[in-house]
Chains A and B, each alone.
Chain A
């Protein structure tokens, strides 16, 4: 059984498990919708009372917010359990992966399938659709293509970042702390355009925790805001490159992590 087949079978069995808890699905979906409505509501209140946020209008902000969600929801649909790697290590579940003749990475990635996150995906799609209409956008085929690529790149970027951070657990035993420190960056970039913040912040979310490539930079291109990027206009197109780079890094780190784990145990 090759990697993809294994992954598919793992998802199947995970889904089978979830089917047992049907009531939770509805509750989960409602919760997610509610949460995002609240967030957007807050932004909405702000923007309506102040007319704009650094020349980002309400619907542009909705677009920004939902572009993030699209990428993130794809990631969390399949890999939201990535952050739990440290628990797998502590509880011995990871050891079980090593006892089987199959790639531990695929076994880990295929462990869960959070189909409730489909709600996030729908919210994202709805938001983008509404924003598209409200802003009177008319994309040609290139822009649509770029949009798709941006979404997939976004999903890849956040997956790679989360997995990279989760891997720190192989060395330090815990990754929760790092997630705590990274989360505010995720949250701020998700909800607000990066150009309202200071330089230090912008540099960090562009080069160290490059989540600005999930929504901000692609939005500059997709919403015809390239003028505000000035000489760095090329950053708007870099999402797929950043995604590929991160993927490469995370695969390398995973190999190193396995080596570390088998040499030092727990």
Chain B
């Protein structure tokens, strides 16, 4: 579906000089620096995959997505979407992709949702039967009929996002880009949206690329994640793998009967201490929970304990911070 090879995008930017005199000098003779926003990335996404695409701000996410959409021409490298080169055949490519931007709606602000949908139907030349069928589907899965006659400006954020989803899928695109679609949405609406994304992907085999900062989205929805940082793909693989590979750490949470002074246990690090509870982090390959528990219980009586797996968020954070064994792209 998507094939990217050594994709690179460089920008020229004015060098901002320090201080007042610096600003004056910039006025007369600006200097430029070349910044690689996307630096030699390669990956392949097959049809029907649901990929999470994450990275810190400024990592190159939106730049790479723009290249996939054909909005941006790569500096070097090659990208193909369903056999088309996006920037060379932009208009043709637009018919097979859809996009939802969490920050900005694609709909017309002051008119009822259905009017925007009608116009999209005509722009994308969606056959009437398919249009009606899709509307019904959106009614079922998104509850579109509740607000389809309301102007977009009066919709709640959750409703607006649902409407945007409908608009993006109206023409049955094979590929769907979701750019932080659930920012600011309440938990209940998020759950519905996640389910919708799941259904679309499963039933209609729509390939989905989900950009998000919310790790729960990733965990609940995606089977594969790609992490981009400083323009490079630092991880590309399944969630399970990432946990195995990087999730060496476990945390033992112990609740003591009484207040207990902080202490250190062998092969474990005390991470947090709150009231009667203490959090001990340990490497599961270096020591087993039972050893640790035995050691701790021999010192003080305990009330309760639990073993926690690391959150994806923490793992990803460690990766952002640059692990030396940053993984190259997985080949399939």
Contacts and interface: CB of A to CB of B under 8 A. Distances in A.
Interface of A: 1, 6, 9-10, 13-14, 16-18, 20-21, 91-93, 95-96, 98-102, 262-265
A13 B119 contact: yes
B108 A17 contact: yes
Given A93-B104, A264-B11, A265-B11, A13 B111 contact: yes
Interface of A is mostly: helix
Given A13-B116, A17-B110, A101-B95, A95 B125 contact: no
B94 A100 contact: yes
B109 A17 contact: yes
Given A17-B151, A95-B71, 20 more contacts: A9-B119, A10-B119, A13-B115, A16-B110, A17-B111, A20-B151, A91-B104, A92-B104, A98-B71, A99-B69, A99-B71, A99-B99, A100-B124, A101-B92, A262-B90, A263-B72, A264-B11, A265-B9, A265-B11, A265-B63
B70 interface: yes
29 contacts: A1-B125, A6-B123, A9-B122, A13-B111, A13-B115, A16-B110, A16-B111, A16-B115, A17-B108, A17-B110, A18-B110, A92-B103, A95-B71, A96-B106, A98-B71, A98-B90, A99-B71, A99-B99, A101-B92, A101-B123, A102-B91, A262-B70, A262-B72, A262-B73, A262-B87, A262-B90, A263-B72, A263-B73, A265-B9
A96 B278 CA distance: 51
A6 B91 CA distance: 15
Q: Secondary structure of the B side of the interface?
A: mixed
Contacts of B91: 101-102
A95 B72 CA distance: 10
Nearest to B97: A99
B320 interface: no
B94 A265 contact: no
